[in-house]
Amino acid sequence: MRYFTICYPNEHNETIWETLSEEDIRRDYYPYWYEKMCEKYGKEHVDATYSFEECLEDWQIVHWSMRNYWREMKENFQ
């Protein structure tokens, strides 16, 4: 499983670091992304052209995320 880390300020202007799995992103972001893509391009085109990988790439760009290889390695050692 792949992991991605993002950071953002909270209400006290403290930096929050959050690591999400690709399954978290698939569950929380993909339905929204898919709906918006279908509105823009049409369901038939989206189904034929795009996959979760394009969604994940968009999510990474929007959230300025970085892949967290350390977390991936840690998971493999458990």
pLDDT, tens digit (0-9, with 9 covering 90-100), for 21-41:
999 999 999 999 999 999 999
Of the pLDDT bands very low, low, confident and very high (cuts 50, 70, 90), residue 68 is very high
64 and 5 in contact (C-beta within 8 Å)?
no
DSSP state of 13: S
Quick check: 3 and 65 in contact, CB under 8 A? no
For the chain, give the percent of residues with pLDDT over 70. Answer: 99
Q: Domain limits of the chain? A: 3-76
**Separation CA 40–CA 2 (nearest Å):** 28
Euclidean distance between CA atoms 47 and 40, whole angstroms = 13
CB 68 within 8 A of CB 3: yes
Q: What is the pTM of this model?
A: 0.82
Mean local confidence (pLDDT), 48-70 = 95
